Amino acid sequence: MRAIILGLFMFIGMVSMTGNSANLPQTKAKVENIKSNVMYAINWYVEFETEGKRTQLAILDELEIIASVDNLTDVATISLPEAVMNTALNFEGKIKRGSKVLIKLGYDSDLKTEFVGYVQEIVNKDSSLQIKCEDALFLFRKGIKSVELKSTSLKEVGKYIVDQIDEGYTVDCDYGITYEKFTIHNATGYDVLKKLQEETKANIYFDTNNKVLHIHPPYVTKTGEVFYSMQKNIENSSLEFKNKVDDKTEIIIESTGKDGKVKKLTAGTTGGNKINIKVGPMSEESMKKIAESALKKEAQSRFEGTFDTWLIPYVSPGYSARIKDEDYLNKLGWYYVVSVTTKISSQGAVRTITPGIKLS
């Protein structure tokens, strides 16, 4: 990502806050959109809340946010120097494990909320401090009560988890998987969500800001639309289109019932890639839904690779992206955005986008 550096990226000091500030910390850097010849000032805002006291970060070396519908958690890493002017940074009472984190990024005065979560840990690495953050999954790494849920559903299991951790959370689930029995034993909320994700191939993620646990079939929920052109707003690309029409993928689902007997269901085409998935006791209809989801993730035509762009247009996982290349119009189409990695540093701001299956 090309950039014209007009000054220092680093800001000195920590500013305690009791209310919102109109004077947001701004990088002393400008990035030039080479293809449209427009100049933007990178702007960032990072705030921590610890025991009711809010602190605005006013120093930064680098910031990276990784978000994906394939991951249970979105993460952010904030990198700072260990010391400024030979004085060590002191976070005591201001930032610690469990502090709430708010990150906004953008150009000029147009900022978007990019991350809401919690501080997981603060570590020293290569003469710098790294503040590692997680979204609401941080709260769900706690143990929950062991239970055997009979004749239950994916949504009801999700609701049991959130009720154990924080009853303020709700569950948004449109994936109709049912279990004859679902057992939780000596597990954390994270452990159970991970098991659900592995068994059902669901997209499971948190909307931390609105306190919602989302559980959906893979690549179904669409959160917005965005337009990209290789000639206009894509800087670098390693995309390669994979037409999987002729690929052979076989999905085998095995469910062990309450009586110990194993049921099998097969979907797809034999003679190629074979994927085995073991699930708990459930109906054949639910097994079929899981097989269909696995086939969508493995056997549908898609782009593989990534491409780099700027902070605008805004995009997040779950968006539908229209990708156009004037040189290869046969690849024109809408693609599901699987993950977005956003990074700002003295070199500028860049989003690295991983598209997935072709939607149309």
191 versus 126: the higher-pLDDT residue is: 191
Task: Indicate the pTM of the whole model.
Answer: 0.86
CATH of span 224-243+302-358 = 2.40.30.150
Residue 25's nearest CA partner among 106, 92, 98 is 106
- For the chain, domain boundaries: 4-139, 140-216, 224-243+302-358, 249-297
Give yes or no for a contact between 157 and 196, defined as CB atoms under 8 angstroms apart: yes
The H-assigned helical ranges of the chain are: 154-165, 189-200, 284-299
284-299 helix and 189-200 helix, angle to the nearest 10 degrees:
80
For residues 160-180, average pLDDT: 95
At 10, list the tokens: 């680093």
| Cβ within 8 Å of residue 307, ≥6 positions away | 228, 234, 235, 236, 237, 238, 239, 352, 353, 355
User: pLDDT exceeding 90 applies to what percent of the chain?
Assistant: 56
Q: How confident is the model at residue 83, as a pLDDT?
A: 67
CA 348 to centroid of chain Cα atoms: 22
pLDDT tens figures, 194-234: 999 999 999 999 999 999 999 999 998 899 999 999 998 99
Q: What is the pLDDT of residues 110-152, one digit of tens each?
A: 899 999 999 999 988 777 789 999 999 999 999 999 999 999 9
Q: What is the DSSP letter of 261?
A: P
Distance, CA of 2 to CA of 31 (rounded, Å): 7
The tokens describing 173, both together, are 């689930």
Instruction: For residue 309, report the phi and psi dihedrals to the nearest 5 degrees.
Output: -145, -165
- Provide the mean pLDDT of the chain: 85
Question: pLDDT tens digits, residue range 299-349?
Answer: 777 888 999 999 999 999 999 999 988 887 777 889 999 999 999 988 889
More confident residue, 9 or 239: 239
What pLDDT score was predicted for residue 297? 81
| CATH number among 3.40.50.720, 3.55.50.10, 3.40.50.800, 2.30.30.140, domain 140-216 | 3.55.50.10
CA 83 to chain centre: 31
pLDDT tens-digit series, residues 337-360: 999 999 998 888 999 999 988 888
Euclidean distance between CA atoms 266 and 259, whole angstroms: 21
Does pLDDT of 77 surpass 90?
yes
pLDDT at position 26 is 45
Under a CB-based contact definition with an 8 Å cutoff, are residues 351 and 342 in contact?
Answer: yes
